[in-house]
Amino acid sequence: MSATLGRTVKMTIFGESHGPAIGLVVDGLPPGLKVDTDFLQSELERRAPGRNKLGTARKETDAFVLQSGVFEGHTTGTPLCALIPNGDQHSGDYQLLQAKMRPGHADYAGRVKYHGFNDYRGGGHFSGRLTAPLVLLGALCKLALQERQVTVGSHIVNIGAATDRRFNPLGEPPAVLASLRQQTLPTLDEAVGAAMEQEIRRPGHRATAWAAVSSA
């Protein structure tokens, strides 16, 4: 599997969770796109763990640095490189993984693919931490869509017995989609969100996601 994804807009994701940094290089963004760094940071903070009691207590500060591709607040059209320094690492906790791989994780696949030379600490290149560059790319694409009056939003349809109503197939108002970003568990019905939180605190829950795009 290649670390480069996409056709018109291509992204190369790089780094390991216990290395000095992770990041991405994006090629194909249009020149002149206004880069709202506050919005990009807010999207990364939505992903980062340690923000509430429903996820891991591990802290990850997803501060990013734009190394290239942005000049005077706008994309140049040349490859954009973003760097996200790593922190709160406990590399010694993973020494056992050098010889023993976790079932259901990419430890074994990574060892086979890279002939044992991979960085196994925390899952290395296959760590969940590598979702941060993916979120950053999505945020950049959201900015490009916003310039075309397209708003993207998503919500949780169900967790266990708690079920939210689905999006209107003809679209939801952009204000509704934007409000979902402010919720820990994004739901159209706040009461359902509270019920979902109770389901999460019980073992054996299942979740289904449903996304929609609304154009205004």
Tell me, yes or no, whether 18 and 84 share the same domain: yes
- Sequence-separated (6 or more) residues with CB below 8 Å from residue 93: none
Q: Phi, psi (5° rounding) for residue 77?
A: 95, -15
- According to the model, what pLDDT value does residue 138 have? 94
pLDDT, residue 140, reads 96
Q: What residue ranges of the chain have pLDDT lower than 50? A: 216
Q: How confident is the model at residue 209, as a pLDDT?
A: 57
What pTM did the predictor assign?
0.81
> Which amino acid is located at 125 in the chain?
H
CA dist., res. 109 & res. 27, Å (int)? 28
Output the pLDDT for position 52. Answer: 62
125 with 161, same domain: the answer is: no
Q: Are residue 109 and residue 187 in the same domain, yes or no?
A: no
Residues 119, 36 share a domain? yes
Quote the pLDDT of residue 216: 46
What pLDDT does 3 receive?
A: 81
- Residue 211 included in any domain: yes
Same domain, 104 and 8: yes
